[in-house]
Amino acid sequence: MTRRSRISICVLALAIPVFFAFGLLAGGVELGFADVIDALSGRADPTVSFIVVETRLPALATALFGSAALAVAGLLMQTCFNNPLAGPSIMGISTGASLGVAVVLLALGGLLGFWGRMALVAGAFLGASAVLAVLLFFSSFVRSADILLIIGILTGYLSSSAISLLNYFATENSVHSFVMWGMGTFGGVGLESLPLFASLSMLFMLLCIPYCKSLNAMLLGARYAESSGVAMKRTRSALLAISGALTATVTAWCGPIGFLGLVVPHIARLMCGTANHRVLLPATALAGAVLGLVCQIASVAPSLATGAILPVNAITPLIGVPIIIYVLLNRRRLVYFS
Amino acid sequence: MTVLETHRLDVGYGKHTVLSDINLTVNEGSFTALIGANGSGKSTLLRTLAGAQRPLCGSILFSGRKMEQLRRSELAKNLAMVFTDRTGGGGLSVRETVEIGRHPYTGLLGRLSEEDHRIVHEAIESVGMGALKDRLAGTLSDGERQKVMIARALAQDTPLIILDEPTAFLDVAGRIEITALLRRLADAGKAIVLSTHDVSSAIAAADNLWIVDKTARQLISAPRDAAIANGLPDKAFPGLHFDKTTYSFLL
């Protein structure tokens, strides 16, 4: 690992607790450092304790794990499809999850209790899995990564079309619930669901570690990877399945969060100066966590003055689009995809 | 020692046979040049030998073992390939790219042993890229990048390296340099099979010729000097005549 990579990973790792602590202070109710410490140690009054422990802490933890998971999913897809613009939202997997959620909301009429929430999670998983199954089916005989990418985009359009039809026939309540869910929020995972959400995100991210050496070989193209001993079909299917599981987990609980999966791997590459997945995988997860915390803070920060919380999907493009344009315009000079 | 044999091998797609009844032998320390016109089936043959497509019939043996008995990782210990493609991987350093050659030998996490590091170092040095080992591959010239891919094939530590048009993007100096490098590797004991349109320098460097006769859909294998003495190179490009003194094709 180069000095630049080491420093970048250290900076990202240190930034996480800093932003997390800052995030506990940020929100619609002004709290001091002492209030937060008291709430975390169980000495604060119930209102402050509720705000810190049951609202801000789970939202920040969800932002941390959810963004890291989406970022890793994006990295896997960019390498699998050898395309800097591949990502969970572009490949149609997020849209597939949205379709699953739309079906559940239409069926339940927009009223969500605990079991309704669980049905939402199941719907997102099934929707993402359906798109993934289409991608896996085509990847079993389509060798071109570009064609697979286009198939993913087209499948996303089909899902969007199905969602529009469902909304047309849905009740007003259902449409309202779906629109709210579709705005994306890290605040939807309560303290009781957080352990499950965090465990699933971590599990799927850890599953990527044994694939680092194959991912590096895949950077040279499918033919070189095969010649180096990588069983391409099996490996690509496994990597797509992992990235689908990561996306479905996050989308089920948080709604479709755009741009993070696309942009964070580029931030990690720019910071570390390498495409080596042994460095890039942890750097992408850490950068995703940091960016997720930043987005969550930016989402709730205006609420102190205005009382309104911004949807996360209103913030991610503000950070994501300039970086993507910079990467595309400097694609040759940055060399990571040449 | 024989590193590659084919017996009555037919290659092609579906029901379309491109080349039939191919019987080849490649020994260690030999340099074989594969020459033939565009569309004659050179790449189909090499893809079949590399396991990227199934033979229509016949058998392929690597060091005496049938190809279908070898797993992908075992095949990668017998045969390394170098392709024409301008590769991706611009964000990997020269050393990291060459380390990919150790893929079949490392465990689940891909951790390199001392021995792996030594082999990678030797591979980089043998293609003369030692001074650039920490440079990102994306900052190298086409010729330098192709040398890195040859070093990656060397790090794969296989008895046989097959190169499919490795010099297609290179200028004259780059082509001659790569061909000379391959000759040195053959002299050091590697079996080299080179498919190229740069026939003059390939024939000059080769011990054996594989000549694709597109009209007869056959592949003729012969030691270079015997092949030239019998006028076999003429079969590679119908309408052209091979000049024995300049090793080039003339109208």
Strand partners, B11: B19
CB–CB contact B76 A227 (8 Å): yes
Residues B102, B182, single domain; the answer is no
Domain of residue B192, CATH code: 3.40.50.300
Same domain flag for B165 and B102: no
Per-residue pLDDT of chain A (338 residues), as tens digits, is 889 999 999 999 999 999 999 999 887 788 888 888 888 888 878 888 888 888 899 999 999 999 999 999 999 989 988 888 888 888 888 889 889 888 888 777 665 666 777 787 788 888 888 887 888 788 777 767 678 888 888 998 998 899 888 888 877 777 777 787 778 889 888 888 899 899 999 999 999 999 999 999 999 988 899 999 999 888 988 998 898 889 888 988 888 898 899 999 999 999 999 999 999 999 999 999 999 999 999 998 887 777 778 888 889 999 889 998 998 888 777 877 76
A284 and chain B in contact, CB less than 8 A = no
| Test the A interface: residue of B74, B77, B82, B92 with most A CBs within 10 Å | B92
Over the stretch B69-120, which tens digit does the pLDDT of each residue have? 999 889 999 999 998 876 678 899 999 999 999 999 998 888 999 999 999 9
- Domains of chain A in start order, with CATH, are 3-334 (1.10.3470.10)
Contacting residues of B for A275, CB less than 8 Å apart: 89-92
How many secondary structure helices (H) and strands (E) does chain A include? 17, 0
- Residue ranges of E strands in chain A: none
Q: Is A298 exposed, middle or buried (0-12, 13-18, 19+ CB in 10 A)?
A: middle
Residues B58 and B164 in one domain: yes
- Which chain B residues are within 8 Å of A336, Cβ to Cβ? 90-91, 138
Within this chain, do residues B40 and B1 fall inside the same structural domain, yes or no?
Answer: yes
Q: Are residues B240 and B185 in the same domain?
A: yes
The answer to whether residue B76 sits within a structural domain is no
Note down the domain range covering B13: 1-63+160-251
DSSP labels for A177-200? HHHHHHT--STTS-TTTHHHHHHH
Q: Which two tokens stand for residue A40?
A: 């975390």
B173 and B109, same domain (yes or no) = no
Site from B70, B84, B103, B109 to mutate, A interface, most A CB atoms within 10 angstroms: B103
Residue A158 tokens read as 């089909």
Assess if residue B70 is contained within a domain.
no
* B198 located within any domain: yes
B137 contacts in chain A (CB < 8 Å): 335
Angle between the A57-80 and A232-254 helix axes, to the nearest 10 degrees?
Answer: 150
Q: Which two tokens stand for residue B89?
A: 């991987």
Q: What does the pLDDT look like over A53-104, one tens digit per residue?
A: 888 999 999 999 999 999 999 999 899 888 888 888 888 888 898 898 888 8
Indicate whether B140 belongs to any domain: yes
For every residue of A200-232, DSSP letters joined together read: HHHHHHHTTGGGHHHHHHHTT-HHHHHHTT--H
Distance from CA of A211 to the nearest CA of B (A): 8
How many angstroms separate the CA of residue A337 from the nearest CA in chain B? Answer: 6
B107 touches chain A (CB under 8 A): no
| Residues of chain B contacting residue A278, judged by C-beta atoms under 8 Å apart | 110
What ipTM goes with this model?
A: 0.90
Helices (H) and strands (E) in chain B — how many of each?
8, 12
Q: Same domain for B167 and B251? A: yes
Smallest CA–CA distance from B153 into chain A, residue = A228
Q: Hey, is A89 helix, strand or coil?
A: coil
**Residue A226 to residue B88, Cβ atoms within 8 A:** no
Q: Is residue B31 part of a domain?
A: yes
User: Cα(A244)–Cα(A125) distance, rounded to whole angstroms?
Assistant: 9
Q: Does A117 touch chain B (CB under 8 A)?
A: no
Number of domains present in the structure of chain B = 2
Flag whether B75 is in a domain: no
